[in-house]
Amino acid sequence: MRLTTKTRYSMRAMVDLARQTNGKPVTMKEIARRQGIKPKYLEQILRKLRKAGLIQSIRGPGGGYILKKDPKSIRLSEIIEAVGESTYPVFCVAKRPSRSCLRAKNCPTRSYWKELDDLILTFFKKRTLEDVCQGRS
């Protein structure tokens, strides 16, 4: 399994916001500069995170983005889902497979892929944004 750039960048943006403890909104440009993410790409990610209810945008002078929830209540799996990504190792175990496998019904390895998928999902569901910020694994 390989996490996409969008997933990695969304995690980095969320960690950046979580580390802003002064309560002031952070601009997209600040996050982009600190995290080395192109602003246009980050804008798309932040829009998805906002739609998912993980962050809030504040308009006007002094505006920017803030977390909408406490970092300890934001699961990493929520961030991944918010940006429309997934963690499944092979397409046949996806919740909604984009393709069908002709061997799915009698595939000798499918149960192993499903077990791996469950382990990966559990890993991201058990960990919070606060865990990442604190360096806990």
CATH (domain of 69): 1.10.10.10
pLDDT value for 8: 95
Q: What does the alpha-carbon distance between residue 22 and residue 45 come to, in Å, rounded to a whole number? A: 23
pLDDT value for 99: 62
Q: Chunk the chain into consecutive blocks of 10 residues (it has 137) and report each block's average pLDDT, rounded to whole numbers.
A: 88 96 90 97 98 96 94 96 85 67 80 90 96 89
Number of domains in the chain: 1
Domain enclosing residue 88, as ranges: 5-134
State pTM to two decimals: 0.86
Q: What does the alpha-carbon distance between residue 80 and residue 4 come to, in Å, rounded to a whole number? A: 10
